[in-house]
Amino acid sequence: MKPTTADKIRNVALISHGGAGKTSLAEAMLFDAGAIPRLGSVDAGTAALDWDPDEQKRKQSINLAIGSLEHEEVRITIVDTPGYADFQSDVIEALAAVDAAIVVVDASAGVEVGTDEVWRLADARRLPRFVFINKMDRENANYDAVLDQLKAAFGPKIAPVYLPIGSADGFRGYIDVIEQHATVYEAGKPAEVPIPDELEGIEHSRRDALVEAAAEASDELMEKYLEGEDLSDAEIEAALHKGTREGSVVPVFVGSALKNIGIRELTSMIARHVPSPAEVGSRTSVDGKPIEPDPNAPFVAQVFKTTADPFVGRLTYFRVFSGTLTAQAHLYNASHKVEERIGNILSLLGKDQENVPQAGPGDIVAVAKLSSTQTGDTLVADRAHALELPRFTFPNPTLQVSIEPESKADLDKLGQALSRMLEEEPCVRVHREEGTGETVLTAMGDAHVDVIVDRLRRKFGASVKTGTPLVPYRETIRRPAKIDNRFKRQTGGHGQFGHVVIEFEPTDSGTGFEFGDRIVGGAVPKQYIPAVEKGLREALGEGVLAGYPIVDMKATLIDGSYHTVDSSEMAFKIAASQALKRAFPEADPILLEPVLEVEVVVPDAYMGDVMGQITAKRGHVLGMDSQNGMQSLRAQVPQAEMFHYATELRSITQGRGRFSWRLDHYAEVPHTIAEKVIAVHQAKVAAGDRH
């Protein structure tokens, strides 16, 4: 990658529903421009940008990948992204690094749920975009139907620039609506030919639609258009460029990545109409200060991706927005307020890395072994220019699984492996669940979990098993109880003696555990009262009914006695613990379960099915809102019913539904369910397993 200026750079992300052919398109663009020596294949596992073993195994992208090419003195950096919803975090990261997006659509499948989703993500960043209708050579390819779907989904700004000549096996080229000529491919080589007679009428109507869409970007052109004047090709091109940059026009192109038809033309249009970093202009810091794409200004860059490699270490990807960075420099992490030492600056093409002497505005590069820098952080030249760019947000993961090491050797490696994995997975959470003792991993979906498990084993040497988590139940009481408990043991020498009288009473939900004492006259010496509290707190964690932690209870030590020789802290701890276990059956004990507040967002057509399913899960609907054809439902649902909901919702809504959840409160478990939970615990205790 040769150093260049910001006006000669184009940064684009390829985004789509899974299977539309983004990686094949990127491969064809790189090959056509001479950036890679051979045209790789996703199915064969030879694609330059699908180099990760997990990607080659699954024959689909699961990480973003970067490659650059040169076209007529313009450098185009392509960020290829996953299409599957479980790996949406990489799409968000990619869109934070680029200045435009290419939405790839399968000519036989049309606008799919993933198309809508990535379009929404591009909208959120206000990115200009193209549409590339790929796989025109595929059976059932239908350009007109796809174009109609695009217009229905995204409005009149959809503007076809190229029209296909033929489809499926008969697809052989395209018509350029602006320049009004046709190009056909014979033996892989393009040749300009007259527009076929049967397509002339269609071409004229499409040109009129394009001219109208382009004229929307210019009052002057719109006036000429409305007055019936012809617009020149140059005027249409200028309006197309302006409309694309402003987002009022979305040009549509056609082709076949596998047959390399329309690829060079797409590359050329990217170079001509995607805004450069210089044209995009300044970014704004969180405190409102402009960050200009000036190579001589103070250095500012933002990290958009972090990977952890067991051999190379941490690899940090960032986009430069201002200033110039040279190798072996020092930077300041404005987000974490720490200094970082930069080694070599790396240009990336798939897994291949090339050292470059410097990086300036618009450059997308990587460095290795930064110690404290994470995804979303801002890197600056020094403390004096510690501007910070807005961080980008990721969706909260919703699918929970329990994980446990397969062997003792895996247990020793698991902690560090999870820590390293979390560095590169912003949509994963890991926590240890109090009460069940399980390690719970929360991810975006089943495929995401599978990839994480493979990655832990392959990259970090820790093999794990997954399962459905145990429900983190709690236990509490509903009535007061007073227990007089005496612990006495003689062992030949000094004995053990502790005597406590404790009142137990329920407290409000969410208050946890409270301890107090009303000892008078030294019935229990002051030095033993902390031991009483400690004994109670230790017993709380073990539970009585089903082995789950006890909550929302107050214990008050009101009386007791001691022996001057045999009493000890241990004796009073045991006496208190025994008192709690005796009190529980007398205090009307119940089992509590976590209840989640859930928000489900689905298209109108699926709301009936979603409500039925929520009700079947013992859910209670709190309210509903409707906006732009989408319904938002809020409900409270027991967590026990929600462990597989991410997969279930995707199934019943064909992937169009999404949801989020948070723990709201604990509520009493229905008697029939509580009996089963208690019976399972008693069976384990009988078998010698407390957990």
459-515: pLDDT as tens digits: 889 999 999 999 999 999 999 999 999 999 877 667 899 999 999 999 998 888 999
User: What is the identity of the amino acid at 312?
Assistant: V
Residue 553 — very low, low, confident or very high, per pLDDT cuts 50/70/90? very high
Residue 128 — very low, low, confident or very high, per pLDDT cuts 50/70/90? very high
CB 413 within 8 A of CB 458: no
Percent of the chain predicted with pLDDT > 70: 98
Spatial distance between the Cα atoms of 469 and 449, rounded to a whole number of angstroms: 14
Residue 103 has pLDDT above 90, yes or no: yes
Spatial distance between the Cα atoms of 389 and 375, rounded to a whole number of angstroms: 12
CB 370 within 8 A of CB 314: yes
Residues 669 and 575 in one domain: no
Q: What is the pLDDT of residue 337?
A: 93
In a domain, 315, yes or no: yes
Name which of 635, 478, 603 is nearest 551 in CA terms.
478
Residues 537 and 647 in one domain: no
Strand partners, 454: none
The arithmetic mean of pLDDT across residues 371-393, rounded, is: 92
In a domain, 241, yes or no: no
The CATH number of residue 323's host domain is 2.40.30.10
**Residue 159 CB: number of other CB atoms within 10 A?**
25
Spatial distance between the Cα atoms of 401 and 443, rounded to a whole number of angstroms: 8
- Model confidence pLDDT, tens digit, residues 655-669: 889 999 999 999 999
Q: Which residues of 231-256 are buried (b: 16+ CB within 10 A; e: fewer)?
A: beeebbbbbbbbbbbebbbbbbbbbb
The CATH number of residue 606's host domain is 3.30.70.240
The torsion angles phi and psi of 10, rounded to 5 degrees, stand at -130, 125
**Better-scored residue on pLDDT, 22 or 177:** 22
Spatial distance between the Cα atoms of 165 and 175, rounded to a whole number of angstroms: 7
Q: What angle in degrees, to the nearest 10, is found between the helix axes of 263-273 and 233-246?
A: 70
How far is residue 226 CA from its own chain's centroid?
A: 46
Residues 169 and 273 in one domain: yes
Spatial distance between the Cα atoms of 458 and 549, rounded to a whole number of angstroms: 37
- Sign, CA dihedral 679-682-687-691, equals positive
In a domain, 207, yes or no: no
Residue 264 — very low, low, confident or very high, per pLDDT cuts 50/70/90? very high
Length of the chain: 691
The CATH number of residue 409's host domain is 3.30.70.870
In a domain, 691, yes or no: no
Query: If phi over 0 gives left and psi between -120 and 50 gives alpha, with beta otherwise, what is residue 508?
Result: beta
User: What is the identity of the amino acid at 590?
Assistant: I
Residue 601 — very low, low, confident or very high, per pLDDT cuts 50/70/90? very high
Spatial distance between the Cα atoms of 422 and 401, rounded to a whole number of angstroms: 16
Spatial distance between the Cα atoms of 598 and 611, rounded to a whole number of angstroms: 12
Report the half-sphere exposure of 10 (CA within 13 A, side-chain side). 27
**pTM score of the predicted model:** 0.90
In a domain, 214, yes or no: no
Identify the residue whose tokens are 């080694």.
Answer: 343
DSSP state of 603: E
Number of domains in the chain: 5
Residues 152 and 37 in one domain: yes
Residue 619 has pLDDT above 90, yes or no: yes
Residues 187 and 275 in one domain: yes
- Model confidence pLDDT, tens digit, residues 68-102: 999 999 999 999 999 999 999 999 999 999 999 99
Contacts 24+ apart (CB under 8 A), 684-688: 684/547, 685/547
From the number of C-beta atoms within 10 Å of its C-beta (0-12, 13-18, 19+), residue 92 rates as buried
Residues 42 and 186 in one domain: yes
Residue that terminates a domain, selected from 587, 622, 651:
587
**Better-scored residue on pLDDT, 211 or 48:** 48
Residues 28 and 133 in one domain: yes
Spatial distance between the Cα atoms of 59 and 421, rounded to a whole number of angstroms: 22
Lowest-confidence segment of 197-201, 249-253, 368-372, 505-509 by average pLDDT: 197-201
Strand partners, 308: 314
Residue 112 — very low, low, confident or very high, per pLDDT cuts 50/70/90? very high
CB 347 within 8 A of CB 356: yes
The torsion angles phi and psi of 666, rounded to 5 degrees, stand at -105, 140
- Model confidence pLDDT, tens digit, residues 7-66: 999 999 999 999 999 999 999 999 999 999 998 889 888 999 998 888 888 889 999 999
From the number of C-beta atoms within 10 Å of its C-beta (0-12, 13-18, 19+), residue 181 rates as middle
Residue 628 neighbours by CB under 8 Å, 6+ apart: none
Residues 104 and 252 in one domain: yes
In a domain, 679, yes or no: no
Q: What is the pLDDT of residue 385?
A: 80
Residues 602 and 663 in one domain: yes
Range of the domain at 403: 399-467
Report the half-sphere exposure of 29 (CA within 13 A, side-chain side). 34
Residues 38 and 142 in one domain: yes
Residue 646 token pair: 């991410």
Residues 327 and 448 in one domain: no
In a domain, 391, yes or no: no
Spatial distance between the Cα atoms of 457 and 406, rounded to a whole number of angstroms: 11
In a domain, 216, yes or no: no
Spatial distance between the Cα atoms of 254 and 18, rounded to a whole number of angstroms: 18
Residue that terminates a domain, selected from 419, 440, 467:
467
Strand partners, 627: 630
Q: What is the pLDDT of residue 691?
A: 52
The CATH number of residue 539's host domain is 3.30.230.10
Residue 690 has pLDDT above 60, yes or no: no
Identify the residue whose tokens are 């050797």.
Answer: 409
* Three-state DSSP string of 451-479: HHHHHHHHHHCCCEEEECCCCCCEEEECC
Residue 371 token pair: 């110690």
Spatial distance between the Cα atoms of 640 and 468, rounded to a whole number of angstroms: 10
Residue 209 has pLDDT above 90, yes or no: no
The CATH number of residue 55's host domain is 3.40.50.300
How far is residue 216 CA from its own chain's centroid?
A: 36
Residue that terminates a domain, selected from 329, 353, 385:
385
User: What is the identity of the amino acid at 355?
Assistant: N
Residues 526 and 603 in one domain: no
